Amino acid sequence: MPKTIEVTYAGSVTLLILWDVDHTLIENAGVSKLIYAAAFETLTGRPPHLAAPTEGRTDPGIMRALYQLHGLSMPPWKYVERALAQAGARHADLLKTRGSVLPGAVAVLTLLGGRSDVVQSTLTGNIRANALVKLSAFGLDLLLDLDLGAYGSDGERRAELVGAARRRFANAKGREPDRTVLVGDTPRDVEAALSGGAEILAVASGIHSPAELRAAGAGTILDDLTDSARVLVSLGLDG
């Protein structure tokens, strides 16, 4: 049975919230695919003729699939990660112009950031450098503890990232978080949370419908983040 989030917790309990980035906090408006294409071209000397498959995958998985689509083997990850970081930096200004923060994200992050019982970070398939590019484009990096997050370079399977974030929390705080909730918009986020030992708050702010997220195992689903009070209740927190 998937975990649902219905109980109100006291302020002494530490809740680690892991936010997905793309289509949960921000809309990248296609810039992500441009970054993958640019990294591919840097590494191969030619642009891809097919687009990278994304939808909740990690950067290693996305780039591996992109290479496979073109009948190629991916080079060692350190070269791919470097090319992705370079491409992300080159596209930062375009992201600021074309992309946007999703409605309600700033208000919710700010509200949760004022609570002593909550720690907020990220769980994203992006490498850390590009997660920082995307978040800092809209000032969201200032509202999150990025040192406690998990990123695409931590594992090819998204479920591995839950454990990576919890270990970083434990190393920094001296103990495991009492609860961990992943907030994301794809079935892969749901799968990662449930198989990685976290709770899931699904948000239908991407391309996946509430029905698809429910079918993946999400027990708590919001249409968006615009109602801050409802987000807190959905996280099992009082107002």
In this structure, whether the domain defined by 15-27+100-234 belongs to CATH 3.40.50.300 is answered with: no
* Full pLDDT tens readout for the chain, 239 residues: 334 333 333 445 589 999 999 999 999 999 999 999 999 999 999 999 998 888 789 999 999 999 999 999 999 999 999 999 999 999 999 999 999 999 999 999 999 999 999 999 999 999 999 999 999 999 999 999 999 999 999 988 888 999 999 999 999 999 999 999 999 999 999 999 999 999 999 999 999 999 999 999 999 999 999 999 999 999 999 75
In the chain, what are the domain boundaries?
A: 15-27+100-234, 31-97
Question: Which residues partner with 184 through β-bridges?
Answer: 202
pLDDT one-digit tens code per residue, 42-62: 999 999 999 888 878 999 999
Beta strands in the chain (DSSP E): 15-19, 26-27, 100-101, 118-122, 179-184, 199-203, 221-222
State the average pLDDT for the chain. Answer: 92
User: pTM of this prediction?
Assistant: 0.91
